[in-house]
Amino acid sequence: MIPQEIIRHKRDGLPLDEAAIGAFITGLSNGTISEGQVAAFAMAVWFSGMNRDETVALTLAMRDSGEVLDWSDLGRPVADKHSTGGVGDNVSLMLAPIAAACGLAVPMISGRGLGHTGGTLDKLESIPGYTINPSAALFRQTVRDAGCAIIGQTANLAPADRRLYAIRDVTATVDSQALITASILSKKLAAGLQSLVLDVKIGNGAFMANIKEAEGLARSLVDVANGAGVRTTALITDMNEPLADAAGNALEIESCLAFLRGEKAGSRLEAVVMSFAVEMLMTAGMASSPTEGQDLAARALSSGSAMEHFGRMVSLLGGPQDFTERPQAYLTKAPVMLPVEASQDGFLSLGDTREIGMAVIALGGGRTHPDEAIDHRVGFSQIKPVGSRLTKGEPIAFVHAATQEQAEAAQMRLLELYGIEADEPATGPVILSKIT
């Protein structure tokens, strides 16, 4: 089929066979299919969906559009984690070095921001010199010597996904189950993993709005990945408020370092990070029970070993050698910082987490088209968790902005999104269920 016939076929709700999907992905990879055709294909898939066989074919075609890595010489289990994205979700930054400190090899292929969600690569680019697209040799050296490397897709790793990923971000086709599944797993399968854990988020700050959608995506991911020979489980987690107490690139790096110093004990963020550390260790065969996994991860954190692995990763990938000791010397600050103050006494509530992510984009901390530069300095810090008891004038959060005008606009927007209630709002668990 020619590209327009493949698009028409899917637009009309008909299933595509493996040959048609493979032909389209080949054209996407070599540039013979235009950006407009890729966008039309993505929209057709968004409207019509894909069955399991189509999704497997799309995932494998995208995986095989480039190199598939082999880590058999490492002598350690090769594992990874992926999140479907949310606001203040910097879990990967802490989880990778914790897992590495426990003896896993973590070659983590990450992405930039999609829609309202922040991207792990954008956060790491806050660190001067950090190379998100290293050579294959440097990638291997970093995984071998630091135990983990968080990078973007190299030129030879799932190149079809790189192009489709960028176009989805600006064509309102991010939240397609088939496209999310293929995008996530094509990169992960190309990275040569033996095991994988997935964070499928649900709530008003996630792409999946309800439990049925989240479980459907988790099941799709788990089924396709296990079918391809990678041991995979998924946790469904709550995203009805920012996960970290920061939203914005450099600010989330600061939050990551605070976590690795042991300063986030008792938080929702800690619950998610440690749950995924346990899941990674058990899925990889490094722990035989949740208790053993929890103990291993806790020791990696409390001993400083996880922080050491993070610092080694940063240094090997071109960042400052003393970054973890002197982050303030390297992370640039926004020139304007304003408090967002509670208007009355009461308990903090929140209506729409997604809009907090959009407010970061409005400050310049995200993109509205694929090649747009972002301001790593801006965002929100010291965000109070929902249910916090506040007194009038107490900060709910702090705005970091490039200009006074932008700071005041973000300040007003956050006040519109949060509320102060007389009664403490009900809050649920952050880990909702597990898909195996």
Active-site residue, from 84, 120, 181, 315? 120
Residues in the chain: 436
Active-site residue, from 116, 162, 188, 376? 188
Active-site residue, from 10, 63, 65, 82? 82
Could you tell me which residues come within 8 angstroms of residue 399 by beta carbon, excluding any fewer than 6 positions away? 336, 337, 338, 339, 340, 363, 380, 407, 410, 411, 414
Token pair, residue 316, equals: 């090997």
Active-site residue, from 55, 65, 83, 275? 83
Tell me the β-bridge partners of 395.
341
Active-site residue, from 183, 195, 232, 283? 183
CA distances from 9 to 13, 48, 111, 175, 273 (A): 7, 10, 30, 21, 42
* 81 is an active site residue: yes
* 187 is an active site residue: yes
* 303 is an active site residue: no
DSSP H stretches of helix in 87-232: 91-101, 120-124, 136-146, 159-169, 177-190, 211-227
Q: How many whole angstroms separate alpha carbon 103 and alpha carbon 262? A: 20
Q: How many whole angstroms separate alpha carbon 36 and alpha carbon 14? A: 21
* 183 is an active site residue: yes
Structural Rg of the chain based on CA atoms: 21
* 324 is an active site residue: no
Active-site residue, from 112, 168, 367, 377? 168
Q: What angle do CA 92, 294, 308 make, to 5 degrees?
A: 50
- Distance, CA of 197 to chain centre: 13
β-strand pairing of 346-350 with 389-390: antiparallel
Active-site residue, from 64, 80, 169, 238? 80
Active-site residue, from 29, 63, 65, 81? 81
Q: How many whole angstroms separate alpha carbon 250 and alpha carbon 264? A: 17
* 212 is an active site residue: no
Backbone angles phi, psi at 396, to 5 degrees: -80, -35
Could you tell me the end-to-end alpha-carbon distance of the chain, in angstroms, rounded to an integer?
37
Question: What DSSP element (H or E) covers 38?
Answer: helix 35-48
Q: How many whole angstroms separate alpha carbon 419 and alpha carbon 370? A: 34
Token pair, residue 80, equals: 């990874």
* 140 is an active site residue: no
Could you tell me which residues come within 8 angstroms of residue 150 by beta carbon, excluding any fewer than 6 positions away? 92, 93, 96, 108, 110, 120, 121, 124, 313
Token pair, residue 415, equals: 């006040």
* 162 is an active site residue: no
Are residues 272 and 430 in contact, defined by beta-carbon separation less than 8 angstroms?
A: yes
Which is nearest to 206 in space by CA: 353, 389, 307? Answer: 353
* 201 is an active site residue: no
Catalytic positions = 80-83, 120, 168, 183, 187-188
